[in-house]
Chain A
């Protein structure tokens, strides 16, 4: 525990060798602080850190930085998501410093969904730097205490650096190399895209372990409980990079509509059990999308409670 990079709870939990359990929370489409804080309460004590999404699917919401600060104030630990779509390098570095100043110690570095998905497709995107370069930038600021131009930073920002990995996007053969690049860039931890295809993730993790990547970073497996067969169908057809096997859709359809949510949770719990044993997996990132109130029950049934205090 001597060499903490950021001192975040997530970092401590992972370094202590605990199986991490992180959650996710989307800021509101408005300035509704009360509703946001209400959602936080379902996550408090049930997860080690909570991803605060950054205008996810390119839909405008309360800023992830502001929502992360509100979370800090409520005694939870945010994992501040930052996308490269909406900020140039000046804004990025400025927000990283601001995040540190506000007590934020985890960051997830993302390129960001293209704005054509969102509610302002007319927008000009930025992409001054990409997610890989963002990871390297946060590391430079933290470890070298330098801005991109080489100038010294007066009190460098200490962030536990996260990155995303989608083993289900193409070309599949390249995905493990891309992960290796993110680790080389400086990713301390990885959160994968939602996993539904267990055969494929087993194969992918075998490749990860063969390359020894799991020893260089902490990999958290992404799990999303399906609310019903319709959601599975929709995600399969319309969400890019999703790999949802027909067998899962059939399984959800095989039960009565009102029992489909329970069946979705059961599948998620089976996944968590397998990930606890899977070599190279250091934890689970539970993305209960607009279902935060189910997290206490899911965490309880996943037998990940109480969360370790490190």
Chain B
């Protein structure tokens, strides 16, 4: 899923400092799963902003809404009747949400209420880790099912570099050296020879480097399915 982090209350307060009536829009997709933009977080943010503004003697009116998915025009259209009632909208969806909203409601201002970080999953309660860089050419089977593009700090195709120490990456002690894991997995399987030879240079055209990407499924476009 797409993982996001909370923005600081200070940053959000600064965004809406001139507004008296706003909407906070959550999303029932990924951000609900990673506990940053679901109903609970929307309610908490609304209360926090109200309290802070009350303290300043500058009350603010806040309504809340949690869309099924903000990355789907069908659901984004669901607030068409009310979106114009507000001076601004804070979206707690990933970066896709406030853009779909901005594209549909051109006269409204949408603020991103979270920092979208990566594609990943929860490794333990409250901890999410990156797993995919969305490079558009998946080849993790060549690396023991572990992705060096997303998980090596240098995206090395031929690692580990000289900074790998006791399974830890050189950038900090909390970062696993994924190449250490790749190599050890091969060693344990008795297949170290899989790592002999040079992995060729990657074609980044399918990644963000090739420009903004688009995925077209012809059969769906034509309405056959």
Expressed in whole angstroms, the minimum distance between the Cβ of A240 and any Cβ of chain B is 4
8 Å CB contact of A169 from B157, B161, B172, B196: B161
Contact A113–B163 (Cβ < 8 Å): yes
Known: A89-B201, A116-B171, A241-B170. A174 touches B161 (CB 8 A): no
Given contacts A89-B201, A130-B157, A170-B180, contact A181 B162 (CB under 8 A): no
CB of A125 within 8 Å of the partner chain: yes
| Interface residues as binary, B139-167 with A (CB distance below 8 Å gives 1, 0 otherwise) | 00000000000000111111111111111
Please pick, from A85, A174, A193, the residue contacting B195 in the complex, using a CB distance under 8 A.
Answer: A174
Q: Render B9-50 as a binary contact track against A, CB cut-off 8 A, 1 for contact.
A: 000000000000000000000000000000000000000000
B75 at the interface (CB under 8 A from A): no
Chain B interface SS verdict (over half): loop
B122 contacts partner chain A, Cβ-Cβ < 8 Å: no
Instruction: Give which listed residue, B170, B172, B192, contacts A174 with CB less than 8 A.
Output: B192
Residues A165-214 near B (CB distance < 8 A): 165-166, 169-171, 173-174, 177-178, 180-181, 184-185, 193
User: Which B residues lie within 8 Å of A133 (CB)?
Assistant: 157-158, 198-201
Interface centre among B156, B163, B172 (most CB of A within 10 A): B163
- Is B131 in contact with chain A by the CB < 8 A criterion? no
Number of chain A interface residues as a range:
35 or more
A53 CB to closest chain B CB (Å) equals 15
A148 within 8 A of B: yes
Chain B, interface size: which category?
A: 20 to 34
| Chain B residues whose C-beta falls within 8 Å of the C-beta of A116 in the assembled complex | 153, 171-172
| Chain A 146-169 interface residues, beta-carbon cutoff 8 Å to B | 148, 164-166, 169
Q: Mark A282-305, 1 if CB is under 8 A from B, else 0.
A: 000000000000000000000000
A127 at the interface (CB under 8 A from B): yes
Q: A120: CB under 8 A from chain B? A: no
Q: Which residues of A contact B172 (CB under 8 A)?
A: 116
Q: Which of A125, A165, A169, A181 contacts B154 (CB 8 A)?
A: A125
* Inter-chain contact A170/B187, CB cutoff 8 Å: no
Q: What residues make up the interface of A, taking CB atoms closer than 8 Å to B?
A: 84-85, 89, 111-114, 116-117, 125, 127-133, 136-137, 148, 164-166, 169-171, 173-174, 177-178, 180-181, 184-185, 193, 240-241
Interface centre among B162, B167, B183, B184 (most CB of A within 10 A): B162
Once A130-B158, A174-B183 are accepted as A-B contacts, the answer to whether A181 and B163 lie under 8 Å apart by CB is no
Chain B residues whose CB sits within 8 angstroms of the CB of A125 once the complex forms: 154
Complex contact B204–A128 (CB within 8 A): yes
Rounded to whole angstroms, the CA-CA distance of A128 and B201 in the bound complex is 8
Q: Which residue of B lies closest to A112 (CB)?
A: B154
8 A Cβ contacts from B165-192 to A: 165-167, 170-172, 177, 180, 183-184, 187, 192
Find the B residue at minimum CB distance from A243.
B165
Tell me if B197 is interfacial: C-beta within 8 Å of chain A: yes
Closest to B165 in A: A170
A114-B171, A130-B159, A171-B184 in contact; A177/B201 too (CB < 8 A)?
A: no
| Given the contacts A130-B154, A240-B170, A181 and B198 also touching, CB distance less than 8 Å | yes
Q: How far is the CA of A107 from the CA of B204 in the complex (A)?
A: 26
- Are A114 and B158 in contact, CB atoms less than 8 angstroms apart? no
> Using Cβ atoms and an 8 Å threshold, which residues of chain B touch A171?
160, 164, 180, 183-184, 187
- Bound Cα distance A89, B201 (Å): 10
A170 in contact with B167 given A177-B195, A181-B198, A184-B197 (CB within 8 Å): yes
Min CB distance A231 to B, Å, is 19
Residues of A within 8 A of B196 (CB): 177, 180-181, 184
**CB atoms of A174 and B187 under 8 A apart:** yes
Besides A131-B156, A177-B196, 19 new A-B residue pairs in contact (Cβ under 8 A), listed by A number: A85-B154, A114-B171, A116-B153, A116-B172, A125-B154, A130-B156, A130-B157, A130-B158, A131-B158, A132-B157, A133-B199, A165-B162, A170-B160, A170-B166, A171-B183, A181-B158, A184-B197, A241-B163, A241-B164
